[in-house]
Amino acid sequence: MFIDTHCHIDSYERHAGESFDALLARFRTSSFTTERSSAKEKAAAAKIAQPEAFIHVACDPADFETARALSEKYDNIYTAYGIHPEYVETETAEDEARLIEYLAHPKCVACGEFGLDYHYGAETKAAQVKLFERHLQLGIKSGKPLVLHLREADDDALDVLRAANLHDTKIHIHCFTGTPEFVEQLLALDAKIFVGFTGIVTFNNAQSVRDAAAIVPIDQMLLETDAPYMAPVPFRGKPCHSGYIPFIAEKLAEIKNVPVEELYRHCRENTRKCYGI
């Protein structure tokens, strides 16, 4: 049993051109191949499995309402609300006030994702740091676990995190793409750190992410897809959905040198410890 601890269901619907209900129907009927699929594709498709639950992340204030509706329609969809650093130049005080309201929703299990992204936002670094500091305080005050997006901003991220009082705060470092050195520094923070790995761990060119996964204790790992992007091998480049978690789990089990059942058991327990579900 597993939970996809980080996915964007509305973006999946837009990106894949398939409704969530249609995806659920495909899970029920295991319809992931066509007559034209190769034997290799069929073998891979047989591993696709439905998670028992989903944490749907809304990180654009314009999508908060859709997220609330999704979580009220489906028992097994939980939500996280935050403001992604890509909105640093458009977000308003009103957005932050709405964020606080949505964080109080009964199906909301976390505040995020928010953080720093210098890969796409190199020209807004100073503004991103200010927003990150403010949202970190807002998130801590909410008492919810925090979901952090940290990309190519290691030094500034560590400065902001070290300056905050994170004691006892649960933090999901989501879609880890950094180096072993960075993950080591994150794990050393005075906080309850969990590190999420996506399909990137299966990519040929992601050895440094696998090296980072090797040093993350198994009781601090989380399984996530970040759907609709970063589909694991052998689906790389296709729209990513939560059914691809088994490919990520297999790779992490191989890295940690444990049977995949043991990896699942730990990640399920870690999800409970971090998110309370």
Interacting residues with Zn ion between 212 and 231 (CB under 5 A): 226
Name the minimum Å distance from CB 49 to Zn ion.
21
Contact flags string 226-255 toward Zn ion, x per CB under 5 A:
x-----------------------------
Name the minimum Å distance from CB 192 to Zn ion.
20
For 180-188, which contacts have Cβ atoms below 8 Å and span 24 or more sequence positions? 180/208, 180/211, 180/212, 180/214, 180/215, 182/154, 182/212, 183/212, 183/215, 183/216, 184/215, 185/154, 185/158, 186/158, 186/161, 187/215, 187/216, 187/217, 187/220
Q: Specify whether the CB–CB gap between 235 and 245 falls below 8 A.
A: no
Is 169 or 198 the residue whose CB approaches Zn ion more closely? Answer: 198
Is 32 or 235 the residue whose CB approaches Zn ion more closely? Answer: 235
Name the minimum Å distance from CB 59 to Zn ion.
6
Name the minimum Å distance from CB 57 to Zn ion.
5
Is 60 or 226 the residue whose CB approaches Zn ion more closely? Answer: 226
Contact flags string 180-219 toward Zn ion, x per CB under 5 A:
----------------------------------------
Counting residues that bind Zn ion (by CB under 5 A) gives 1
Q: State the sign of the Cα–Cα–Cα–Cα dihedral 206, 207, 208, 212.
A: positive
Q: Which helix (H) or strand (E) holds 193?
A: strand 192-197
- Measured from each CB, the residue nearest to Zn ion is 226
Which stretches of the chain bind Zn ion, using CB under 5 A? 226
